[in-house]
Structure 1
Amino acid sequence: MSKGMAALLAALAFLSLWPAGSDSSRILVVPVDGSHWINMAAILKELHSRGHQLTVLHSPNSWYIPTNGSFYTSVTATMLEDGNKKDFYNQVLLDVIKVRQYAGFLRTFYQQGLITDMLARGHKILAEAATAMIDDPVFMKKLREAKFDLMLTDPGLTVGVLLGNYLKLPMVFNVRWMNNGESHFAMAPSPLSYVPVSGSELHDQMDFQGRLKNMLHYIYSLIEFYFYINAAYADLFQRHFPPKTDLLTLERAADIWLVRSDFVFELPRPTMPNVVYIGGFQCEKARPLPADLDAFVRSSGEHGVVVMSLGTLVSALPRDVTEAIAGAFAQIPQKVIWRIKGEKPSSLGNNTLVVDWLPQKDLLGHPKTPAFVAHGGTNGMYEAIYHGFPVLGLPLLFDQFDNLLRLKVRGAARVLEANSLTKEGFLEALRDILDNPTYRDNMRRLSRLHHDRPMPPLETAIFWIEYVTRHKGASHLRPVAYSLPWYSYFCLDVVLFITAVVVAFVWASVAFCKAICCRRFGRKMKRE
């Protein structure tokens, strides 16, 4: 037995002896590492403050998830060890930058091809990890004996989905992206005429070419899901789940989908009764800055400070790109705080402070921050909306291209391509964001809309998690559409039946008319 499994068994044994209060629930949590953990941790801290007992299952070499959590019992188990290397994502980034040189219609397909290879590899590793857990009778016995009331998971990784279904636990998803696209495509009607497929880089105002591209991306996504992603779990499904089980069926078994979206940011589209929108729930008012950063920000005077961060997932940008950005920063009157990994550019100006880490929420909420240069990650976009500052976008991977497009069409952002970035182009776009009040006004309008809601999104999330634990599920909110075969869902059997009736009626009518005509013609011939 591995050390991780031994630690898990010890933690579960301890948990089974912990008496639960009347309002306390035992929640098994399977998160996703990286920036996703920031979202999950916000929910877990609030659940812990309300007396719930949390057990977090994570990999032993997690980037962000502490082994010794102050608000949860930490349990380690191998999940995505071989596929969770930052060097791997850095290489994917460089490959994506290359394919971005292709024509606009084709490059999204080339880019998705790179992502398909990554997804196939990752889901194979996840399937093996889930199989090892389920095949371990001691491990599964301890999970059952812990008597969890709920599975809370981010289905961006599938281990929580598989364990939750296997243990027959009520499930709540903290979700935006899953499998190979945006979560709505897994659980809500998605008319391709105005709902863009993830990765297509389209908005809801599509001409014929846009709809054609959207349809092709949808067909590609089906091939990607069934032949690359779902196929990785075929053996696991065959051995441990009922016949005809697939990944989509297990995901649709979730009682509540806490979707990290807000229609201030997301494009309007159909939804479902078990979907709750909590976009921006991790955002909060800015706190005082550390002394050194506060002194730097105050020294910027009336011009303020531009904040730049490209997230936590990748740390490698081509040298010419970082030099172009540094050279452009050196020519603006504002000061700059730039989170950068690796070697510092030689063209850095005296106005630029390079750091390994920055308090992004607190800097974006500072009154001296006029703009945010970002890669387009969901957390950063909602923090920019929350505080009302426009964005200069430099998308690199995954959903970042679509995220920035949503702000661009709302007039709150400009977007540049890393593969064609020049010092002059970056400087022109940066000055436009800083000097043109339209971007700031549009973002502040989005911010007002985002804040105008009946209750804070974090409280909404907690309510629905506790709702599921109180009622031991929320199956009454799951639509029957999830259990219908595709031909019944689209009423193709009804259409076929009606078509057959109409054809039969027309054929019978024509045959009857022919018979009458032939009979009359025959009588006439006899008289002649």
Structure 2
Amino acid sequence: MLFLPGNASMMISIFLTGLCFLFLGPTCCSGSRILVVPVDGSHWINMEVILRELHSRGHIMTVLRSDKSWYIPSNSSIFTSINVTMLEDEAADINYYNKMLLDVMERRRLPTFIRTFYQQYLITYMLAKGHEIMARSVSTMLDDPVFMKKMQDSKFDLILTDPALPIGVVLGSYLKLPMVFNVRWINTGEGHLTIAPSPVSYVPVSGSELHDQMDFLERTKNMLHSIYSFVEQHFFINPAYSDVFQRYFPPGTDLLSLELAADIWLVRTDFVFEFPRPTMPNVVYIGGFQCTKSGPLPVELEAFMQSSGEHGVVVMSLGSLVSALPRETTEAIAAAFAQLPQKVVWRFVGERPSSLGNNTLLVKWLPQKDLLGHPKTRAFVAHGGTNGMYEAIYHGVPVLGLPLLFDQFDNLLRLKERGAARVMEANSLTKEDFLEALKDILETPSYRNNIQRLSQLHHDQPMSPMDTAIFWIEYVIRNKGAAHLQSAGFSLPWYSYFCLDVAVLIMALTGAFVWASVLVCKVICCRSSRRKNVGGGDHTHIVS
């Protein structure tokens, strides 16, 4: 055995410690300055998860928020905030969505073909007002020399934004910052439909409530939804920003061109959940990045879970955006829960249902991921938000869906198509139907088997979705952008993109060739006919 003097041993220890910091410490771009322009509500919940990971790696973040923000704190240990005028300053409060829910539930009684278009109209109406507010907000920022000097003097290395609301897109483009999107939705629907080729023959348009195996009528409906999205983008959304683009950007700039210039699109889905479709080099899939292993529950909640015995527990949450269902709906749900042998944990805000059973625990907030990962959990009654669907997949819990607004109908359709969920209409829900659906989810093994199969596929990746997201954010910082991953197709005019100019040329040449061929044939036939006529006339003269 070799013994070293104290100084030599200390030097080796220092050397080994240095190696550990070199290989295990923060990356070379740690300490980068990142400007973050998020979207409030549930979108902020998953954006904050990324910010915490970036903070742990030494990055310095500045978040733009509204002084009236619903979720984004003004004081945080992981970022500095700047209050600016945002959508929340002028828009209706969060109770607006409760009113919108009642309207949607009423219109869900319409035939399927019609109701999806009506829902899109409601969203368009809401977005049109929202974009007018956001255009004024971004104009106020760009017109404020003190604010803009602060932005420029901060020397940000990157802007991380959610393009569902385009303030960050416009501001980051004006500042000429490398841009990364944390995205599922943009102005007219799912972001993937904007960045990647999306044939309407098998790629369902957002809000259509269609799958990827469409018959003729379904493809017709999908095409109409695609046309509607085009009209929405160019006639309802772009005009709101025309003054901003005329004053601050080169001619020909519109919102879509700024979005397509983003370096990386971190898309909050993957192909375990989403239908297969074409993609692009700068699209990175991070579906379920916010999911983590379950942690311990509060003592009282853990005791409630354990008291369920072999029957287990049903967890119900309808998200953070809608705070209340109609009274008759909650009474039917409570009455159905009361007849189950399982215990129920229900995130509930509002007047306590009179039909509530002793087996049901009402809470204003619940640790959703910890409950879904608990071994006693048997089913998840959910509204179909992206975050909740991925947590159900991550932990392998079958879903009974009650979609209410926006993308929730499409999200639950994807799980239903994979045999991992059953979906009900909240507007026509009765105690008997809800109880039957609950028993079906709890007692039919295929639902649990299918969701656990999806969970297995989701976990079988070379890198976790979170590590993938952080890698590509830091990749853009290190390389000051990722322009080499952007398709040249985005810079082409529409007629060149679809090769319509080439098609016109080929058709013209083909037409000219056919015309020339017909003309030549006519000339040849005419000459041949003349020769025959001349030859026949001479013969007759000689005979006579």
**TM-score, normalised to structure 1's length?**
0.95
User: Does the alignment pair 1:322 with 2:322?
Assistant: no
Q: Distance in 2 between matches of 1:138 and 1:75?
A: 13
Q: 1:228 & 1:346 partners in 2: Cα distance? A: 45
What does residue 510 of structure 2 align with? 502
1:60 positional shift: 1.0
Structure 2 residue 105 is the aligned partner of structure 1 residue 100: no
Aligned to 1:366: 374
Distance 2:124 2:166 in 1: 16
Given that residues 178 and 263 in structure 2 are in contact (C-alpha distance below 8 angstroms), is that contact kept between their aligned partners in structure 1? yes
Cα contact 2:266–2:469 (8 A) shared by 1? yes
* 1:210 is the counterpart of 2:227: no
Please report how far the alpha carbon of residue 524 of structure 1 lies from its aligned counterpart in structure 2 after TM superposition.
Answer: 2.6
Aligned with 2:400 (options 364, 381, 392): 392
Which residue of the partner structure matches residue 245 of structure 1?
Answer: 253
Paired residues for 1:396-435 under 5 Å = 396-435=404-443
1:66 & 1:426 partners in 2: Cα distance?
38
- Distance in 1 (CA, whole Å) between partners of 2:389 and 2:156 is 34
Alignment of 1:330-369 (within 5 A): 330-369=338-377
Which residue, out of 120, 130, 143, partners 1:122?
A: 130
1:302 match: secondary structure: helix
User: Aligned letter for 2:36?
Assistant: V
Aligned 1:79-98 pairs, distance under 5 A: 79-81=86-88, 82-83=90-91, 85-98=93-106
In 1, Cα distance between equivalents of 2:82 and 2:70? 15
Q: Does 1:47 align with 2:63?
A: no
Alpha-carbon distance, 1:185 to partner: 1.2
- Alignment-derived partner of residue 61 in structure 1: 68
Amino acid at match of 2:49: A
Q: Distance in 2 between matches of 1:486 and 1:117?
A: 27
Helix, strand or coil at the partner of 1:86 = coil
Deviations 1:13-57 (A, max 9, x none): xxxxxxx99642100000111111111111111111111110011
- Which residue matches 1:228? 236
Greater radius of gyration (CA)? 2
CA distance in 1, matches of 2:168, 2:83: 14
For 2:31, the aligned partner's letter is S
Match of 1:521 in 2: 529
1:172 alignment counterpart: 180
Query: How big is the shift at 1:110?
Result: 1.3
The corresponding residue for 2:8 is none
Structure 1 position 301, deviation (Å): 1.1
Count of residue pairs brought into register by the alignment: 509
Find the aligned partners of 1:229 and 1:304 in 2 and give their Cα distance: 48
* Corresponding position of 1:189: 197
Counterpart for residue 462 of structure 1: 470
Conserved 8 A contact 2:29-2:474: no
Asked if residue 484 in structure 1 is aligned to residue 517 in structure 2, the reply is no
3-state SS, counterpart of residue 258 of structure 1:
strand
Counterpart for residue 28 of structure 1: 35
**Amino acid corresponding to residue 33 of structure 1 in structure 2:** D
Q: Distance in 2 between matches of 1:327 and 1:21?
A: 58
Shift of 1:99: 0.6
Q: Secondary structure at the match of 1:162?
A: helix
CA shift digits 1:210-253 (9 cap, x unpaired): 10110011111111111111121111111111111111100011
SS of 1:173's equivalent? strand
Q: CA deviation at 1:453?
A: 0.2
- Please tell me the residue identity of whatever aligns with 1:218: S
Alignment of 1:76 onto 2:78: no
**CA deviations over 1:50-98 (Å, ceiling 9, x no partner):** 1111001111111211110110111111111222521111111111001
Contact 2:29/2:478 (<8 A) preserved: no
Matched, 1:148 2:144: no
**Structure 2: how far apart are the matches of 1:276 and 1:109?**
30
Structure 2 equivalent of residue 3 of structure 1? none
Distance, in Å, in 1 between the alignment partners of 2:166 and 2:486 is 20
Secondary structure of the corresponding residue to residue 311 of structure 2: coil
Q: What are the superposed Cα offsets for residues 334-362 of structure 1, whole Å, 9 maximum, x if unpaired?
A: 11111111112111111111111000010
Deviation at 1:329, TM superposition (A): 0.3
Equivalence map 1:157-168=2 (5 Å): 157-168=165-176
Q: Show structure 1 runs of 5+ residues with no match.
A: 1-19
State the 1:514 CA deviation: 0.7
| Distance in 2 (alpha carbons) for counterparts of 1:356 and 1:93 | 20
Q: Which runs of 5+ in 2 are unaligned?
A: 1-26, 538-544
Equivalent in 254, 264, 276 of residue 256 of structure 1: 264
The change in CA–CA distance for 1:22 and 1:100 in structure 2 (over 3 A counts) is closer
Aligned to 1:11: none
Distance 2:30 2:181 in 1: 21
Deviations 1:255-275 (A, max 9, x none): 000100110001000000001
Q: 1:313 aligns with which of 317, 321, 333?
A: 321
**Counterpart Cα distance in 2 of 1:343 and 1:484:** 57
Change (3 A) 1:432 1:234: same
Please say if residues 41 and 71 of structure 2, whose CA atoms lie closer than 8 Å, have aligned partners that are also in contact.
yes
CA drift of 1:291 comes to: 1.3
Instruction: Tell me how far 1:525 sits from its aligned partner.
Output: 2.5
Give 3-state SS (helix, strand or coil) of 1:308's partner: strand
Q: How far does residue 520 in structure 1 lie from its aligned partner after superposition?
A: 2.1
CA distance in 1: counterparts of 2:28 and 2:444, whole angstroms:
56
In percent, how many aligned pairs have the same letter? 72
Indicate whether 1:445 and 2:473 are aligned.
no
- Matched residues in 1 for 2:302 and 2:69: separation? 31
Alignment of 1:259-338 (within 5 A): 259-338=267-346
**Equivalents in 2 of 1:355, 1:121: separation in Å?**
34
**Deviation at residue 518 of structure 1 after TM alignment:** 1.2
